[in-house]
Structure formats: C-alpha cells, structure tokens
Structure 1
Amino acid sequence: MTRPFRFGVVAPLTTDLPTWRDQVRRIADSGYSTLLMPDFPQLQPAPGPTLATAAALTDLRVGTWVYASPLRPAWMTAWEAHSLSKLTGGRFELGIGTGRPGIGDELREKGMPDVPPDERLARIRETVRALRDLDGAEAHTPVAMAVRGPKARALAAEVADTVTFVQMPDEPRAEVTRLARDFRAVRDAELAVAVSVAGDRIAPFMAPPDTDPAAVRAADSLTTLPEDPTAAAEEIQRRREESGFSYFVFGADFADTFAPVVAKLAGR
C-alpha cells in the first residue's frame, strides 16, 4: 500500500505568545497536516494546554512528538490524550516513546526513580490500553511510537498507527531503511521520519546542538534534506518508493522553507 504524503511541524512555544500564534496560523495556511510538541519539561509550556491552544487557532491536527513514558504514570498520559482527543474533535495524535538519551539523569534530577527499559515499554503498552478503554467503541485516538530495538518494534506492530525509528542525526540511511522494510513486512503502519537538519541548519528540540550538518550529509542520513524545495521533493518521493516513509516531520525553523514541498506533495 502506498500511503499519501503528510507533513508535520514540531513547533514548541519558545517565543512570545503572539509570535507563536502567527507561526501556527502560517503552518496551517501552508498545508501542513499536524502541529507537534516535544516533551521537554520546564523548557517550554506543557504539551497538553499548548496543543489545545493550537487546535483552537486552526483546523490542524495536533500531537506529541513524543511523550517520554518514564516521566508520568500511564493512566495520566492516557487521560490527557483522551481529553485532548475530545477537546479537539478527534484531531489529537498521541506520540510516545521510551525517552530520549539522558532521560535517566533527568528523572533523578526531578526526584523520580529511573525506569528500566522493559518497564518503559510496559508503560507504553499500559498507556495505549488505558487510552483504548477511555476512547471506547466510538473513538480511536491515533498512536505514534518512536522505536528502535526489537521489543519496541514488536510492541509498535501491535498497538501503533504510526511508527518512527529513533536514530542519531549522522546515522547512515542503510540501517534505518532496513528497519523500515523489516517492519513493513510485519505491519502496514504509517512510517514517519523526523528531519532535523536542512542544509546547514539544525532544528531545535530535534537534534543535539553539536550536530555537524556536514557529517549528517556525508552519512546520507534520513534526518537531513536539501534546502532547495525541488531537490527536497524529489528526495521525499524517493524515500517513499524505497522504504515506505510517507509522513515527514520538520522543525519549525524549516516550515517556511519546505512549504512549497508541502504544497506539491501533501495528500498525493
């Protein structure tokens, strides 16, 4: 199955509120499907109320990219996800993963116990189970999972609607392409890729600040695209043909750059 393209933007509120509102409206007017929030406590407003605000401003879908499962109890994440789905008229997508590198140190700094990898996955399973119970038979809040290892991929094959593969910015594309092909042999879910580097620019909240764009390009990484819209559109189509990626997530700083790509490819 060839899925139609869609495009999302990770756009945390890091400016004054009027500037961010204008950015959200511009993203919607450019044809993007989804506005997304990262899960970085205290570096930005909480994802839930921020996404509800964005959904009230536009008809965009909204979602988390992604909740770190160790940071909150499963029932709390499920309750918030279901609430956002109700408040947005079914436009919320729950993105969830086991946590970014260094999440153990972050947990200890917040006075919380570190959570072993198997328990992190168990929390995701319990979150989705609780969410399905809250949604009931009349609703289905989409779930996007950020995965890497075999246990995470197996869980995603069971419960996720969208799957993205965790990767370092300079990881060669061959390994991630293999992961995508192997996953598609098991489950025909939507496959997403996060673009954290465009030309020589690095997207905040999506890649380590010391990322070397030249090294990323040299590795032929899936996390980068050329800034030229025509070249970017050709590369995006290549990735769908070769590996099945159809959902592309950009950093907010790239939204205007890739707006012509979205205008050309969204929904096709």
Structure 2
Amino acid sequence: MREQAAGRPELRGDCARCFGLCCAALPFTASADFAVDKAAGTPCGHLRPDHRCGIHDRLRQEGFSGCTVYDCFGAGQRVSQVTFGGRDWRGGPPERARRMFDVFPVVRQLHELLWYLTEALALPAARPVHDDLRRALAETEHLALGSPEDLAALDVGAHRRAVDVLLRASELTRAGVRGRRRDRRGADLMGARLKGADLRGVSLRGALLIAADLTGADLRGADLIGADLRDTDLTDADLTGAFFLTQPQVQAARGSAGTRLPGSLTRPAHWAPAV
C-alpha cells in the first residue's frame, strides 16, 4: 500500500544536504522534550559548524528527545539546495537567514502534504478520486517549487484545508474494512485505556492519544493522519495497513518487538528490536 510514498527519497530528510535548518529555524521550550529554551531563528548550541548535531548519538540521554521525533519530510534539503540554490544561511546577509528560516516551516508542511497525497494514490480503494489526488499533488509540487517570496506569502494552512480529497480517499478505503468504523476524529483520548481494542477502519484523524494504552490494539485500516501519538503505548499493536501514519508519529510512541508497522516505516531505535 505504501510503497509509492516510500519510493520518494526527496520526501525523506537528508541532513547531509541541509544547512541544519531544523536546528536553527525552529523554536523549542524547556520541557520533557527539550533540555533548554531556544528561540526561532537562533541556532541550537549543539549545532556544529558543519551543520551536524554534536550530540546526535545521545539526544535522548541529553534531554532532547523532541529532536528524535522530528522529520522535515525532505523540506530541509529542498530549501537549502533548491529554493536558495545551495546558499548557506551562515556567512551571508542576515536577510537571507531570516528568509530561509521563514520559508522552511512552510515547505515542511507542503512536503508532509506531498507524502499524504502520494500515499493516497497508492490506495486501490481510492481509485475513484485518483484524478483529484493527482491534481492536488501537482498543485502542491508547484507551490513547493515557489520562490522564497512566494513561499513566504503562501497561506499554507488554507491550502491544506483545500485538499479535502484526502478525506474522501480515507472514507473510500475505510469503507472496505470489516467491522466497526467509528469516527473518532479529533477525539480526546489522552491516557485512554484501549488495550486490545478493535480499531480497524476507525478514523483517528487529529485524535489526542497522548499516553494512551493501545497495547495489543488492532489498528489495521485506521486513518491516523495528524493523530498525536506522544508516549502512546503501541506494545504488540498491529498497525499494518494503517494509513497516513508517519515516521515522526511512530518515533513519538512506545513500542515493542511485537509491534507491527507498515513496511515503509522504520522501527525506532528506542523500541525493543523486532524478533
């Protein structure tokens, strides 16, 4: 189902071709996810001159688990190498750095949308809306290739809301899943006890599942776009066939050797290894 999205390496972060934009452009607040405060546009103190992270191999131990769950969907190398033609924010005029930092979050959202649209095109049940998906994909690709000025002026939120074809693709796909298909879009399920729950074909779009217990739950065919899986217990859960699930969501959750994931996603290093 997901090979089409997995086959687009430009939608996966390539830090070697990026100027450390996520480490400089984005803000973070001292919390369980970050050891210190950092303002937007201020380089992280651990960012080295070569744009690599000085504590990459021990981020969790140093209190930066938030960094381990972040994925730019390839926006970093797009902005660094395409939008700004390989010109670094370091050593250039301050205006260039400001523009790069403003544009990066916009392109990141567009690239995430490209991932979802590409995945939707690989859903056989969504064939009736494939033409609409292709049009939305082409439009989003066009926007992502815009100039720095165009990207800075783009209302990316409005564009995301306009791509409602993803919702139709979800409905068509989930209609073919046997059993209950409750709509839990946006549901507050923080800390919910859902051990062994049958969630096949359920819409969990934007649901808050922070610290929820989904041990052994069946999530095949569930729509997980935008679901908050921070500290969600996915021990022995079955997510094969779940769609619109991303690597950052998986990274933010807890899992085990028995957790089953879609083939395009990588088992996080902090999970128990698969047997």
Larger radius of gyration: 2
Structure 1 or 2: more strand by fraction: 1
Q: Which has the higher contact order (CA 8 A, sep 6+)?
A: 1
Give TM-score, length-normalised by structure 1. 0.29
Give TM-score, length-normalised by structure 2. 0.29
